Amino acid sequence: MSEPAATATENRACFELRGASQTLTVMELHHFDPDALERDLRDKIRQAPNFFRDLPLVIGLDHYEGNAADLDFFQLIGICRTHSIQVLGVRGGDDDIRRLARNAALAWLPGGQASAPRPVPDPEQDTAENTEEGAPAITSTGAGRLVKQPVRSGQQVYAPEGDLIIMAPVGAGAEVLAAGHIHIYGPLRGRALAGVHGDTSASIFCQSLEAELVSVAGHYKISEDLQGDDWRTPARIRLEGDVLTVDPLTR
């Protein structure tokens, strides 16, 4: 019964290597105190248990203030694992940290772009092209991405550079991510994550806020925390200092 499938796979190479970019959650570590970490982590998880289940995590050390010697990666991994969070690697830090990470079998990634400036989108670039119907749904412009069709449950749209503009609804169970701003000309019912590389000046704009989750530069709010006056109204979500705030779009 499975013979035809077997012969088809035999002719193909075992694997191919491809470049891929994946959005990951980074835990920016300021100092390492196992007890405090355990406690704070448990608090966070209680707020959004589904978000954290089997979450792949990178430890960010760009803002680490303690000594490299205090960092016990084995203990850190242990704490995360008890909460079913999978530590993949370490970002940033000096050579000592790099060595410690290697000893703990963690991958080391070069320092973060938390403060890297965002490319300024060229306003004239998006206007003229792609007016015909039936063209591929997703248009990649130099400075961002323009999507004309609804983003459906289970779909993910990512603008690794610049802004993401969606001229349709974002359905429940869909996810949209951008390095810069996210504009949604329709209701936002799924998840929207702006400033995924750490741009704290990014915003999310939508015509009706019905989101499952909104996030700017890693600061997020879930649906439960968004049920204020701005629910189901046009809204802008932005960071004010360290606090994610929701403003009405119409005044």
Residues at the interface with other proteins (CB under 8 A): 1-2, 4-5, 8, 134, 136-137, 149-155, 168-169, 171-174, 187, 189
Closest CB 171 distance from other proteins, rounded Å: 5
Q: In degrees, to the nearest 5, what angle opens at C-alpha 120 toward C-alphas 147 and 138?
A: 15
Nearer to other proteins, 7 or 131 (CB): 7
Token pair, residue 180, equals 């810069």
Long-range (24+ apart) CB contacts under 8 A made by 172-181 are: 172/212, 173/212, 176/151, 177/23, 178/144, 178/145, 178/202, 179/118, 180/118, 180/121, 180/144, 181/205
C-alpha closest to that of 176 among 149, 201, 200: 149
Closest CB 152 distance from other proteins, rounded Å: 3
Nearer to other proteins, 1 or 14 (CB): 1
Closest CB 233 distance from other proteins, rounded Å: 16
223, with CB counted inside 10 A (0-12, 13-18, 19+), is middle
Nearer to other proteins, 2 or 115 (CB): 2
Closest CB 172 distance from other proteins, rounded Å: 6
Nearer to other proteins, 3 or 65 (CB): 3
